[in-house]
């Protein structure tokens, strides 16, 4: 490993190096007071960053285009704490001199929420003006305690991030550590740092957006104890601009890692994560730790029959392997364990073992882990003449890679898919899994992309789009999913699984993937109740 600092491939805007004032900010004892900061976004991460900056006596201005009740409530709180908050789209297009006293010259730092695209006018202007731009992760890292800061175990990937980071935290807790899963998983990192009882280890999920906005100052920026990249498949191309830019952002998770960099071992050749790891500049002495669904070589974690094994964190790794857990420890109610769940568990085990947890803690943590909702969750098993039909909610499968893993878990599927494609295509997905499809029920704005892929690669599969004509002219989430379930029930046969694995984002018709999954589950229950 090593060789160079990861580059900022794909950034469409000029990027300012950290100024002398900003470069001094290394931890909570640094001279934060009086720092003039513009925070873009008043969502979960933006609000948490602004709150922490105000506590550090910074001068904070917050901008957000949204003006809903949630934004108004947060604005009132920040106003009481001393921030200047401006809501409404007009503030995003006004000259910054009308928004911030002194204009760009009156700012030391811009902190952007993860969802703000790099080509946003304000972010481009900040780069041109030489004002450093950080994300919420950079703020959190630089606000760590000067002494006794909890180490970070960082994780990214196209799919499986949340499951794996929560598995990691569960294993750490089974070892007696005060640990939390935070970051993109829901709890902002700055909130975890400010918890009154503190944490001994942070298991940190990082999105490609968050990784994109890390500082290029390698001396002061993120330095994880261990890091992992689960997998990479095309996603968020509309935000990053290209697959190469997206991969480069993901690869930044390895930069400056101190102990262990965890990567996916390819069945043949070099995996995407291993390729990015080879390019990463890590701390001298950091080890590359592979995970495989096959028999592990020395320096890897893998699977031998039904046993998860460690040949990386034991002294006798050249001749022996340590048993960590079994597939039975991962099974939910005795159901078969999908390959992606095993891969997630191996990565979580590797991160936790890098932090020094005992072997038995891996087993106990995985046994105690409860999967998040909307991830290959059985909603109901319907008894029909000749057998059963299983109804499964995997609404969290918001891209083709996640949907592929979900489809691979079942033999014969009535597939419910569609939504916002985010710039992705579905040719490879359908070509690989079309043979297991009984039928497809398609929803959402970009359903035609799925229909086209099905027509090319699985023309024998019946395709049923659900639109206004099939919902009685009313397209609420409830009427939509009632129509989806009714069509799926007509198509399903004994032994089939009706699988909601949309391969798309949800925001065209639902508030979130959770809202979509809940609507599907409720419609299934209504249908089965008659």
d(CA 492, CA 183): 40
Which residue do the tokens 């994300």 mark?
A: 135
Per-residue b/e over 449-471, b at no fewer than 16 CB within 10 Å?
A: bbbebbeebbeebebbbbeeebb
Domain ranges of the chain: 20-138, 150-368, 377-529
Fold (CATH) for 377-529 = 3.90.190
Using only C-alpha atoms, the chain has a radius of gyration, in whole angstroms, of: 24
* Count helices and strands in the chain by DSSP H and E runs: 21, 20
113-171 residue pLDDT tens: 988 988 888 999 998 999 999 999 999 999 999 999 999 999 999 888 999 999 999 99
Tell me the three state secondary structure of residue 64. Answer: strand
- Which of 40, 111, 51 lies closest to 76, judged by CA? 51
d(CA 65, CA 74): 14
- The class of domain 20-138 in CATH terms is alpha beta
Residue 163 counted as an annotated binding residue: yes
Which residue do the tokens 């409860």 mark?
A: 370
Give the CA diameter of the chain.
75
CB atoms within 10 A of CB 200: 16
Residue 418 counted as an annotated binding residue: no
- Which of 18, 14, 77 lies closest to 48, judged by CA? 77
Residue 19 counted as an annotated binding residue: no
What average pLDDT does range 462-488 have in this prediction?
A: 83
What average pLDDT does range 32-44 have in this prediction?
A: 96
Q: Is the dihedral of CA 24, 28, 33, 35 positive or negative?
A: positive
Residue 471 counted as an annotated binding residue: no
Residue 157 counted as an annotated binding residue: yes
Beta-strand relationship, 387-393 and 377-384: antiparallel
406-421 residue pLDDT tens: 898 888 999 999 999 9
d(CA 297, CA 364): 25
Q: How confident is the model at residue 7 (pLDDT cuts 50, 70, 90)?
A: very low
Cβ atoms of residues 488 and 443 within 8 Å:
no
* CATH pick for 150-368 out of 3.40.1190.10, 3.40.50.10710, 3.40.640.10, 1.20.1250.20: 3.40.1190.10
Residue 11 counted as an annotated binding residue: no
Whether residue 377 is predicted with pLDDT greater than 80 in this model: the reply is yes
319-371 residue pLDDT tens: 899 999 999 999 876 777 888 899 999 999 999 999 999 999 999 999 999 88
What pLDDT was estimated at residue 1? 42
d(CA 243, CA 425): 12
Residue 76 counted as an annotated binding residue: no
What average pLDDT does range 253-271 have in this prediction?
A: 94
SS3 content of the chain, % helix, strand, coil (to 5): 40, 20, 45
């Amino acid at each position: 490993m090593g060789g160079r600092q990861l580059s900022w491939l794909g950034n469409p805007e000029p990027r300012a190096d950290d100024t002398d004032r900003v470069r001094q900010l290394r931890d909570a004892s640094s001279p934060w007071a009086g720092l003039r900061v513009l925070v873009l976004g008043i969502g979960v991460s933006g609000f948490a960053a602004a709150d922490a900056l105000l506590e550090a006596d910074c001068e904070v201005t917050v901008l957000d285009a949204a003006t809903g009740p949630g934004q108004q409530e947060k604005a009132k709180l920040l106003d009481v704490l001393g921030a200047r908050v401006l809501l409404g789209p007009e503030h995003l297009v006004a000259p910054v001199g009308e928004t911030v006293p002194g204009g760009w010259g009156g700012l030391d730092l811009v902190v952007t929420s993860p969802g703000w695209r790099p080509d946003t006018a304000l972010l481009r202007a900040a780069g041109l003006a030489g004002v450093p731009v950080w994300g919420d992760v950079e703020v959190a890292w630089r606000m760590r305690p000067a002494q006794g800061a909890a180490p970070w175990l960082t994780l990214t990937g196209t799919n499986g991030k949340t499951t794996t980071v929560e598995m990691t935290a569960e294993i750490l807790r089974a070892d007696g550590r005060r640990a939390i899963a935070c970051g993109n998983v829901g709890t902002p990192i700055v909130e975890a740092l400010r918890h009154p009882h503190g944490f001994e280890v942070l298991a940190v999920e990082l999105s490609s957006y968050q990784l994109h906005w890390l500082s290029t100052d390698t001396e002061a920026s993120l330095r994880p104890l261990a890091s992992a990249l689960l997998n990479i498949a095309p996603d968020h191309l509309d935000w990053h601009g290209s697959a190469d830019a997206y991969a480069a952002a993901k690869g930044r998770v390895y930069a400056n890692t101190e102990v262990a960099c965890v990567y996916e071992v390819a069945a043949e050749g070099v995996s995407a994560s291993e390729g990015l790891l080879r390019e990463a500049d890590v701390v001298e002495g950091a080890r590359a730790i592979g995970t495989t669904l096959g028999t592990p070589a020395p320096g890897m974690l893998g699977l031998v029959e039904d046993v998860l094994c460690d040949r990386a964190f034991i002294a006798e790794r050249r001749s022996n392997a340590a048993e960590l857990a079994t597939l039975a420890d991962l099974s939910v109610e005795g159901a078969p364990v999908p390959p992606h769940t095993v891969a997630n568990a191996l990565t979580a085990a590797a991160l936790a073992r890098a932090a020094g947890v005992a072997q038995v803690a891996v087993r106990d943590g995985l046994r105690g882990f409860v999967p998040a909702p909307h991830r290959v969750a059985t909603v109901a098993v319907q008894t029909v003449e000749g057998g059963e039909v299983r109804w499964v909610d995997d609404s969290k499968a918001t891209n083709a890679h996640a949907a592929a893993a979900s489809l691979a878990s079942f033999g014969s599927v009535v597939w419910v898919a569609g939504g916002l494609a985010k710039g992705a295509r579905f040719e490879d997905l359908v070509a690989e899994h079309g043979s297991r499809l009984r039928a497809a029920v398609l929803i959402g704005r970009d359903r035609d992309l799925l229909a086209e892929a099905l027509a090319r690669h699985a023309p024998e599969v019946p395709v049923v789009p659900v639109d206004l004509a099939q919902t009685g002219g009313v397209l609420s989430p409830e009427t939509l999913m009632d129509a989806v379930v009714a069509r799926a029930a007509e198509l399903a046969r004994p032994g089939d699984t009706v699988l909601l694995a949309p391969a798309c984002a949800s925001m065209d018709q639902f508030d979130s993937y959770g809202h979509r999954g809940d609507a599907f589950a409720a419609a299934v229950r209504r249908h089965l109740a008659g």
